[in-house]
Chains A and B, each alone.
Chain A
Amino acid sequence: MDKLNIEEELKKSVSTLNPDITKQMKKCFHELTNTGNPSLPEAETKKFKRLCRESDDYVRYAFYLIMKQLTKNHSEIRLSAFQLADELFNRSHAFREILVLHLQQFLALTTALEVNKPLPPPSAAANKLKSETLLAIQRWYEKYGKGYRKLVHGYDYLKNCKFVDFTNLQAQNQAERLRLEKEEKQKQKAMADKVTKILKEISETQQEIVNCATETENCLKLLLPTTSEETLMDFSSHEANNASLDSREPSQSCSVSNQSHNKSHCSNLDRDKSKCLSAKVGQSSLSGKLLNNVESMDDTSLSSDNDCEDEESDLVAHGFNSTKFTLSIEVPDKVSVQETTDNTDIMQSLKDSSKLIDNTYLPKVIRWLEILSKNGGKENDIKSAIDLKIHLETIKSKCVDLKLVSMETNKTKLDDSDDDFEEVPEKEGFEPHIPPHLRAEYGLTDNVTTQAKPQLVTVSSESSSKTSTGWNLKERLTSQVAADPTTMANALAKVESQSLMSTSPKMFRQNSQETASNIPFVEFGADLACWENPDQIEVPSVIKYDSLHRFWTPKETETEKPSQHELSALKNRVFSFPGKFEPVKWKCRAPMPNGKVCERMDRIKCPFHGTIIARDETGKPSNVTDSSEAHQKEVTTLVEQEEPSTSCCNESHELPPWQDPELQREIEHATGHDLGSARSQKLLDKATKGKGKGKKSKKSNLTNIKAIQNTTHKRLSTKVFNKRSLKKVCATLDNCDYKRIRDKFGNQFHYSLK
């Protein structure tokens, strides 16, 4: 027998060895070889080696196990087995001896040197196996060549007969290493370039940013100068002053409404909330003054340095009648500063600068930070960038906290009032539609209007009232829709207005109670003409000439009796029913990768996210099913919910398009490079595991070879190159050819015979 009979040898060795240990070895070995990883797990390898170390017989048994595994039709298994063999080869003499003895078979299974025995599929693993084996052979040759004659012969055999270029193999390795080094260098250079570029940018723009930040801060200070220190200082000074007041009037009650203060300069400081609260009554009143004082920049009439003696008069002057009052100041969470003519410029500059920070500088700084940290920038630079970022962020948060109430509306009003003439839309006589806020002008009492108003009008007034009460997206959208001349809503609105115009208000008023909706009207027809007596409907008679001669016509022409069919055609009317238009009131709201939710408004199905289901604000599908929903629907909703949840899951685990395992596999198949199709397949498997299909992948971590073979190309080719379909196609093509020839040369003798 030339080839080693592995099964037989295994049986033989098992019969002589300790069954416990062999069982352990087998288990360990299978675990080792079924990992599918390009490298062996360390702990398991050590365990296996420890088991092998018992005696040389176990080493031989291990060899047979390895050889058996090497015959498996999966390169990843073979690769693991080979790596284990390499480990043992470097350890045991017995293993070396037996492997060298069967080196040819070993080589045939690991290097595919025999033409008729190529390595099995995952081609990436196969390539790795081949190159690693050759490298190992060279290593072994160098290390153990003197002790094992056959190894030397094997090396020579590979070199001379199989033309394996070992020097080139080494050179190749070296070249690979050099290439890697070069790449690394380039990478580092690129990184350094990036860092220097960023640093330059920082140095250029930092001053700008700082300027902007200080500007913003200054604006803020100007608007809200009572930052904590100042107030504290003031408070402390006043505390000293008002110590007596404090003791004297502990239970004064007084309510100070915000309106009673200055006209419009109102500002509540939440920052100083605690301090304000801690301050007692007198102080708070004073602080109230103080606030007033501070807020109205030019208001100097109320000075803070009041004397203790004329406190009461002072209080009276402020409108506090009684000295016994409690002051309660309501402090809202947000600080709002109203825009006035005084602070418009500051406000404007603050707005501008804050916008600049928000939109330009902060993202820029964040980007700098990212690049610096990724490309290994210096610690100091990163630190300074972080400081800058924090600074900007605090300013931003301040701006956000400070609610700037714009005065634009007032402003416009003011602007309008400045004009002498108001532009008024021209009115001619009757106005069917009176906006509700103008009703008073027209002398229409609400009572009458509500009674007399036709329903359509009420609807519109309702909508207008709604818009006046609060902004509603739905309403806005419907109004938008209506504004679009291409939509149906617009068309409907037009029709409505026309109908309103056409009917006189009186008539309208009369009919309004009878007809709730539009009166259906049909065009005039024969059936309407003879509405009273439908028997009299006459079908227009058609004269049919038997002879179609121009001159010779029969004397008497018989008029044909109209058939029942034609009669019914006159009586019947066809209405097309387009259904009632219902505007879509819901959105897809599926979570999108940018953190927002999908804003598409589709009726049933979003083209991107599938069937639309109920979702909460964050886009998570709400599990609560309506109680009104029938049981049947529940099932469908369950299905619906499952789908988006899986899609969500996919999104989180979703592989980028270039990691599509099938595509990668095809490329790998073509090029032989490892692109990691196995890894992405595993990822995909993991992602889809939730569906309960992950049973197979649990069993072993190996790449699925069958999946590799199942490529689009293969599937197509099996279909296209199917014998039957080929026959069919050939037959049709032949037929076409024949037809063409027959058409062209059918009159020729040669072709006519066919």
Chain B
Amino acid sequence: MSSVSQRANHHALLHRLTNQSNGLLKPLKLQRSVVSYFMQHLELSRNKDFKTVHSSAINDVNIDLTENRYLLSGGADGTIAIHDLENLTDIDEINHSRTYKLVCSVSPGNRNAHKRSIETVQWYPLDTGIFTSSGTDRLLKIWDTNTLKTAEEYNFSGVVHCHQMSSIATKHNLIAIGTDSSIVKLVDPRAGSATHSLRGHKDGGVRAVSWSNKDEFLLATGGVDNFAILWDVRTAKGCLMKLQDKKKKKSGFTPDTTHDGSVNGLHFTADGLHLATVGTDQKFFLWNVYTGKKLPMNFPALSHIKRRCIKFYLTKGGSDNHAFIPTGSSISTFSLSLPSSKSKHLYGHYNSVNCCTYQEQGNQLISGGNDQKILAWTHKGDQDFEEYLCDRQVEKMETKVKRNLEEVLELPPIQTIPEAIAQTLDTWSDDEI
């Protein structure tokens, strides 16, 4: 089944390519279709590794927006690491893989490091000189990347579940913070303190915050009270709207909530028109930001959504964008425009996956989990690269043989397959026929 669809995709891609060469298709469209083609068949990369730094679970990964190059990751023991996604080591002959080099890291023994688990890390949107981190030690830290020291610290009364800076803001510089309390705090680093507090969630903590990527003053928060709320940070009066499905009529006094469980993940789509929510009721919804209505689409059911902030990702660049949601030990992925009843699972992590992000430039998914690993997922697991390696080796062999032939005529051509491929061959013994 998968091979058939793959072939169809292949054909569609080729068709588009001919169209584009004939001038019938805009290059951007082709690009988008190619990008979404890459998104469809992600597999665990066979030859890309991240240099291991973390000795505990990885709770969040973030790629900088300015260069799309540096990967920030925060661990459960307070480790922060920055990997360079464009600087790979040469092919390691032993492991047959290439490793993303480490730029710098903050070890848990560092004076400035978080004493407890880091829940969220984020680059400063405009510059890689600053990044922010927050964790269960109730601190939000603003770091200077160059010196790897904290420039500022904000203390809160509860565990900081999540924080986010707006990626497009030009008129403000606020960091939205969701803590154990129901009040969403807005910290202004320029002022050096919490300037706003948004009261709207009834009780319990706030598990997810997300700034809109179209409107710089639009903020979405999701709480334990099962509501996702949209705010305009300029109005102090109250929330813009609570996302709830009006159609749904429930008996009794139970209010119509965004989810039937706490809202643990929020993400705006690339166009900023829709908001995706993930709740502990193991469901994924898309909401229209302007009307506050739920899109009538049946997204596949999720599983293993925990009671913590879910760092899922919606891709931007493709013609057919995908959602990547960590569900247990696998990452569920499905198309947003054409959601089928079943999602695809990416198996690669052991124990649970905590976070994932997609590098649009490199067309690779990067995920971190409880198994202390950052994994890269690429199109068909870089099979092409492997084939290329294989070809190269064969070529090498042939040239060698030719050279040998020139020297000594009688030398049988030795063809050895690379070990990685040799290992993937069947080895049924003949006595079992």
Contacts and interface: CB of A to CB of B under 8 A. Distances in A.
A157 B432 contact: no
Contact of A146 (B304, B419, B429, B433): B419
Contacts of A101: 347
B338 interface: no
A161 B348 contact: no
Contact of B350 (A53, A146, A157): A157
Contact of A91 (B44, B95, B348, B429): B429
A331 B189 CA distance: 131
A96 B423 CA distance: 10
A633 interface: no
A157 B425 contact: no
A40 to B, nearest CB: 14
Given A146-B419, A149-B44, A2 B328 contact: yes
Nearest to A102: B347
Most A-side CB within 10 Å, residue of B350, B371, B420, B427: B350
A2 B303 contact: yes
A619 B345 CA distance: 74
A324 interface: no
A104 B352 CA distance: 10
B280 interface: no
B303 A91 contact: no
B420 to A, nearest CB: 4
Nearest to A56: B426
Interface in B359-404: 370-373, 375, 381
A96 B372 CA distance: 24
B95 A146 contact: yes
A91 B427 contact: yes
B351 interface: yes
A93 B428 CA distance: 10
Given A46-B432, A153-B350, A3 B373 contact: no
Interface string A143-160: 111111110111011001
Contact of B423 (A92, A102, A147): A147
Interface string B401-433: 000000000000000000111111111110111
Contacts of A49: 428, 432
Interface string A90-115: 11111010000111100100000000
Contact of B348 (A94, A107, A153): A153
A413 interface: no
A147 B44 contact: no
A713 interface: no
A435 to B, nearest CB: 92
A92 B423 CA distance: 10
Contacts of A160: 55, 371-372
Contacts of A161: 350-351, 370-372
Contacts of B345: 1-2
Given A157-B371, A161-B370, A147 B420 contact: yes
Nearest to A48: B432
A714 interface: no
A50 interface: yes
Question: Is the interface on chain B under 10, 10 to 19, 20 to 34, or 35 or more residues?
Answer: 35 or more
B373 A153 contact: yes
B133 interface: no
A91 B428 contact: yes
A104 B351 contact: yes
B347 A157 contact: no
A153 B375 contact: yes
A150 B419 contact: no
A354 to B, nearest CB: 64
Question: Is the interface on chain A under 10, 10 to 19, 20 to 34, or 35 or more residues?
Answer: 20 to 34
B424 A53 contact: no
Interface string B319-336: 000000001111000000
Contacts of A96: 424
Nearest to A59: B426
B304 to A, nearest CB: 5
A410 to B, nearest CB: 84
B303 A53 contact: no
A90 B427 contact: yes
A160 B370 CA distance: 11
Contact of B426 (A1, A92, A144, A156): A92
A107 B349 CA distance: 13
Interface in B37-60: 44-46, 55
Given A93-B426, A148-B423, A161-B372, A50 B46 contact: no
Contacts of A2: 303-304, 327-330, 345
Contacts of B381: 149
Contacts of A148: 423-424
Most B-side CB within 10 Å, residue of A96, A101, A146: A146
Interface in A154-184: 154, 156-157, 160-161
B10 interface: no
A74 B162 CA distance: 45
B373 A157 contact: yes
A86 B419 CA distance: 21
Contacts of A1: 303, 327, 345
A104 B373 CA distance: 15
A555 B295 CA distance: 128
A58 to B, nearest CB: 12
A152 B375 CA distance: 12
Most B-side CB within 10 Å, residue of A3, A103, A157: A157
B96 interface: yes
B46 A149 contact: yes
Contacts of B371: 153, 156-157, 160-161
A147 B303 CA distance: 30
A591 B349 CA distance: 68
Contacts of B327: 1-2
Contacts of B45: 149
Nearest to B44: A149
Contacts of A147: 419-424
Contacts of A104: 329, 347, 350-351
B127 to A, nearest CB: 34
Interface string B46-90: 100000000100000000000000000000000000000000000
Given A53-B432, A146-B96, A157 B351 contact: yes
Most B-side CB within 10 Å, residue of A3, A91, A161: A161
Contacts of B44: 149-150, 153
A91 B426 CA distance: 6
A147 B328 CA distance: 25
A3 B328 contact: yes
Given A1-B303, A2-B328, A104-B350, A146 B428 contact: no
B55 to A, nearest CB: 7
Contacts of A102: 347
Contacts of B349: 153
Interface string A74-100: 000000000000000011111010000
B324 to A, nearest CB: 14
Contacts of B347: 101-102, 104, 150
A53 B432 CA distance: 9
Interface string A588-605: 000000000000000000
A50 B433 contact: yes
Interface in A16-60: 46, 49-50, 53
A2 B44 CA distance: 16
Closest 7 CB pairs of A and B: A2-B328, A147-B423, A157-B350, A146-B420, A147-B424, A157-B371, A49-B432
Given A90-B427, A161-B370, 19 more contacts: A1-B327, A2-B304, A2-B329, A46-B432, A53-B432, A91-B428, A92-B428, A104-B350, A104-B351, A147-B421, A147-B423, A147-B424, A149-B44, A149-B45, A150-B44, A150-B347, A150-B348, A154-B350, A157-B351
23 contacts: A2-B303, A2-B304, A2-B328, A2-B330, A90-B427, A91-B429, A145-B95, A146-B419, A146-B423, A147-B420, A147-B422, A149-B44, A149-B45, A150-B348, A153-B44, A153-B348, A153-B350, A156-B371, A156-B373, A157-B351, A157-B371, A160-B372, A161-B370
